[in-house]
C-alpha cells in the first residue's frame, strides 16, 4: 500500500451484560482517540439502538429512543431501570462538543479475544458508517 493510503478494517465485537449478549461489527478508526477521562480506557462508540438489546423492559426502550443530548434525567432513569453504572462522557469532535452516555459491559470480546481496555459509549440515532456496522472502534 502506498504512503497515506487509508485501509478500512472491521472487527467482530461481542458485548455481554448480565445474561444478555450482542454481537456486532465495528469499523476500525485510527482517528478515534476518545478515552474515558476517569479510567483512561478507550471508548468503543456503539449505536444506542444496538446496545438496547443488552437490557430489558423500560431500559431497553429508553436506549432505543435516546436523545442526541443525554442529560442527568436520562442518566438517572437508565441507572435505575438497567441497574447499570452509566455516566456522561465528554466528547470533542471537529464539528461539536457534547456528552454521550457510557457504561462498562461485563465482558467485551474483540475478534473473539477478551479485553478490559474499552468502555462502551452510546451514539443516539444511526451512525452513518455503512453496511452492517453498528460501531466505531479506535485502534
Q: Which residues pair with 28 in a beta bridge?
A: 137
Q: What is the reported pLDDT for 129?
A: 78
For residues 70 and 123, give the distance between their C-alpha atoms in angstroms, rounded to a whole number.
10
Residue range 18-60, pLDDT digits in tens: 999 999 999 998 888 899 999 999 999 999 999 999 999 999 9
Q: What is the reported pLDDT for 94?
A: 66
- Within 10 angstroms of residue 57's Cβ, the number of other Cβ atoms is 9
pTM of the predicted model, to two decimals? 0.89
For residues 47 and 76, give the distance between their C-alpha atoms in angstroms, rounded to a whole number.
20
pLDDT of 8 strictly over 90: no
Residues with Cβ within 8 Å of 39's Cβ and at least 6 positions away in sequence, in order, are 119
Q: At what angle do helices 72-82 and 57-64 cross, to 10 degrees?
A: 150
Residue range 101-136, pLDDT digits in tens: 999 999 999 999 999 999 999 998 777 777 788 999
Amino acid at each position: 500500500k502506498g504512503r497515506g493510503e487509508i485501509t478500512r478494517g472491521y472487527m467482530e465485537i461481542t458485548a455481554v451484560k448480565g445474561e444478555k449478549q450482542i454481537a456486532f461489527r465495528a469499523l476500525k478508526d485510527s482517528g478515534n482517540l476518545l478515552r474515558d477521562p476517569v479510567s483512561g480506557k478507550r471508548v468503543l462508540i456503539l449505536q444506542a439502538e444496538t446496545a438496547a438489546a443488552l437490557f430489558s423492559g423500560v431500559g431497553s426502550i429508553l436506549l432505543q429512543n435516546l436523545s442526541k443530548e443525554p442529560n442527568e434525567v436520562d442518566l438517572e432513569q437508565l441507572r435505575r431501570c438497567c441497574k447499570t453504572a452509566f455516566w456522561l462522557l465528554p466528547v470533542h469532535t471537529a464539528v461539536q462538543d457534547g456528552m454521550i452516555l457510557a457504561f462498562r459491559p461485563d465482558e467485551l470480546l474483540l475478534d473473539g479475544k477478551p479485553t478490559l481496555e474499552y468502555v462502551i459509549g452510546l451514539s443516539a440515532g444511526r451512525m452513518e458508517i455503512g453496511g452492517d456496522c453498528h460501531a466505531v472502534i479506535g485502534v
